[in-house]
Amino acid sequence: MVVSSKSFLMYAKCIPSGECLKCPIRGRSITYGPFKSRRRGVSIGINLFPIAKVCSFNCIYCFRGPTKILSVEPVDDGAGINESLLKDSLRIAYEEVMKEFRTINAIDFSGSGEPTLHPKLPELVGTVKSFVKEYGLDVSVGMFTNSTTLHSNHIVKTLKNLDYVEAKLDTVIQSKFELINIPHKTLSIDRIVNNLRNFRKEFNGVLTIQTILIKYNNIINYTFEDAKALAEALTTIEPDEVHLYTTYKTPRVENVEKVSYEVMRDFSNVLERYGLKVEIYLS
């Protein structure tokens, strides 16, 4: 079911394959789902950029397509998502989820791009929290972020209101970071790691680091040295968990390849030797 407003949709039910690049909606809805996953249970996703993908990265494996607005500053894609649009959209999504699953475990900001770049993020987090309270729900409210805005006090203050933050860190090596994540030119991986470290000290919810292992021509981020360098950085960040993925959906750049379970397991073993709690997700 889809409900339209302007040139985007209030809600879109995801296609069974979950392949965003093969979906006719292609990220043009505010809420989407429902999903059932090992990591978040039954969840709804929130997309704050339903018109054009806004991100500070343009990752080669992104399954949302190319970044349309590459920015490290808050920017609206023209959709003007506000509190009342989000609330209406959440209500529609919630009713759809309850029809199918009769329960909901999580509501997550994720979607097309980097949600923390939305100019109204504090108000929109407040909208979700009020919605949860109003409906008497026992859900985890989360944010999937690429970790590039954690230098900002107002983003840290906003994220502290959440139950769950999953923060991306695919590599701690600047040259690989530039080739894999294709970041805005002002971004450095050392500063991102430092910001994650500081964020951990402030955030009392569940902090998960998300690492995506890939192969693209001669670029790989899963050697023993990659794992060791990442593990050393992660021990200073102290996340609750590390989630390892590979490209399980169609990547935006052809020839970005998945890695095998064995590669993920070996990588995981290195992290675990440093005392980190690791989960492997193949899909």
- Give the number of other CB atoms < 10 A from CB of residue 169: 23
Choice between 70 and 156, CB closer to ligand SF4: 70
Shortest CB 63 distance to ligand SF4, Å: 7
* Residue closest to 80 by CA, chosen among 111, 124, 38, 116: 124
Would residue 127 be called left, alpha or beta, if left means φ above 0 and alpha means ψ between -120 and 50 degrees? Answer: alpha
Number of residues that make up the chain: 283
- Cross-strand bridge partners of residue 5: 8
Shortest CB 102 distance to ligand SF4, Å: 31
* Residue closest to 61 by CA, chosen among 180, 211, 150, 194: 180
Chain CA centroid to CA 259, Å: 20
Tell me the residue type at 47. N
Site string for ligand SF4, 150-189 (x = CB under 6 A): ------------------x---------------------
Choice between 45 and 113, CB closer to ligand SF4: 113
**How many CA atoms are closer than 13 Å to the CA of 194, on its beta-carbon side?**
7
Choice between 239 and 251, CB closer to ligand SF4: 251
Does position 114 bind ligand SF4 by CB under 6 A?
yes
How many whole angstroms separate alpha carbon 167 and alpha carbon 163? 13
Shortest CB 187 distance to ligand SF4, Å: 11
Q: Total residues at the site for ligand SF4 (CB under 6 A)?
A: 11
β-pair type (206-213, 164-168): parallel
Choice between 96 and 183, CB closer to ligand SF4: 183
Shortest CB 64 distance to ligand SF4, Å: 5
Choice between 67 and 132, CB closer to ligand SF4: 67
**Which residue, chain included where needed, has tokens 């005392």?**
275
Among 146, 211, 246, 247, binds ligand SF4 (CB under 6 A): 146
Among 33, 113, 239, 251, binds ligand SF4 (CB under 6 A): 113
Tell me the residue type at 115. P
How many whole angstroms separate alpha carbon 171 and alpha carbon 224? 12
Shortest CB 130 distance to ligand SF4, Å: 26
Choice between 25 and 98, CB closer to ligand SF4: 25
Among 31, 47, 67, 268, binds ligand SF4 (CB under 6 A): 67
Shortest CB 166 distance to ligand SF4, Å: 11
Shortest CB 71 distance to ligand SF4, Å: 11
Subset of 2-61 contacting ligand SF4 (CB under 6 A): 55, 57-59
Token pair listed for 238: 């102290």
What angle do helix axes 224-237 and 261-273 make, rounded to 10 degrees? 50
Report yes or no: 30 and 86 within 8 Å, Cβ to Cβ: yes
Does position 143 bind ligand SF4 by CB under 6 A?
no
Token pair listed for 69: 């607005």
Among 28, 40, 64, 243, binds ligand SF4 (CB under 6 A): 64
The site for ligand SF4 (CB under 6 A) is made up of 55, 57-59, 62, 64, 67, 113-114, 146, 168
